[in-house]
Amino acid sequence: MSLLSLLIVKYIPILLMVSNILNNFVADKNLNHYNCLSITHSIDCPMKRIALLFCMLVLSVALYAQQEVTKFMGIPVDGTKSEMITKLKAKGFTWYPAKDCLTGLFNGRDVTLYIYVNGNKVWRVAVLYADEMDNINTINTYNHLLSLFENNGKYYSQRDNQAIEEGTDLHNEIRYHNKQFECLFLQQPQTISKDEVDSMGERRVWMTIILDERAYNKFGIILFYENGYNEANGEDL
């Protein structure tokens, strides 16, 4: 169910009440403002004006919530690729057209950014940690990032997110057992509660470990900030 649908269901009783109140309005052609149609109603004109304003506020909130998308470093993962590049350069990243990537600092570490588009809209920003890491450092970095996300109120952590046990042989698990070390988080909007998790599925942030094919027992960590609203949904099939 979409975020807008959830809000509509939640506020249907209020909207119906406001609709009944608004039915009591009539336009005064001479004065060009709204007057009360009947004195038999117990609610006076000021209260009706308040109800009208409340209705407009609810609809504005619904429209705003519908537009909330995943953010990377405060930048919406949306718009054109060139717009995204410009905003990231303003954050201190350097654009390399020949390699189609940006480099800079993220969370105190050197990273490389890759921007993915669907049509002409950005739907994913990939954040690759630039440093090659051995088994121990990879586990420590992964578990540290997991802890940072889980303790950040802006994110909802999936229950099956798990830290990697100390001493795990990453190369063996990934290469020979097809093990995928990954965790998923959902960015929480400002206008919705934790209980309504389904609507947050379009604001995904997930992390995984990849093998460095150039060197034995070396790994990389990559994070994906994804805007599901812009993701391909099979329209070209």
Give first-to-last CA distance, the chain, whole Å: 23
Query: CB burial class (10 A; 0-12, 13-18, 19+) of residue 167?
Result: exposed
**Does the pLDDT of residue 207 top 70, yes or no?**
yes
Please report, for residues 2, 84, 164, 183, 193, the alpha-carbon distance to residue 147 in angstroms, rounded to integers and kept in the order given: 29, 28, 12, 11, 22
Res 34: pLDDT: 44
**Does the pLDDT of residue 208 top 80, yes or no?**
yes
| Whether 139 contacts 164, CB under 8 Å | yes
Range among 41-45, 138-142, 229-233 rated most confident? 138-142
Res 213: pLDDT: 82
Res 9: pLDDT: 45
Between CA 21 and CA 42 the distance in angstroms is 11
Reported pTM: 0.72
How many CB atoms within 10 Å of residue 27? Answer: 10
Of 155, 142, 166, 121, nearest to 222 by C-alpha is: 142
Q: What is the pLDDT of residues 105-162, one digit of tens each?
A: 999 999 999 999 999 999 999 999 988 899 999 999 999 999 999 999 999 998 789 9
Res 64: pLDDT: 45
Between CA 65 and CA 139 the distance in angstroms is 37
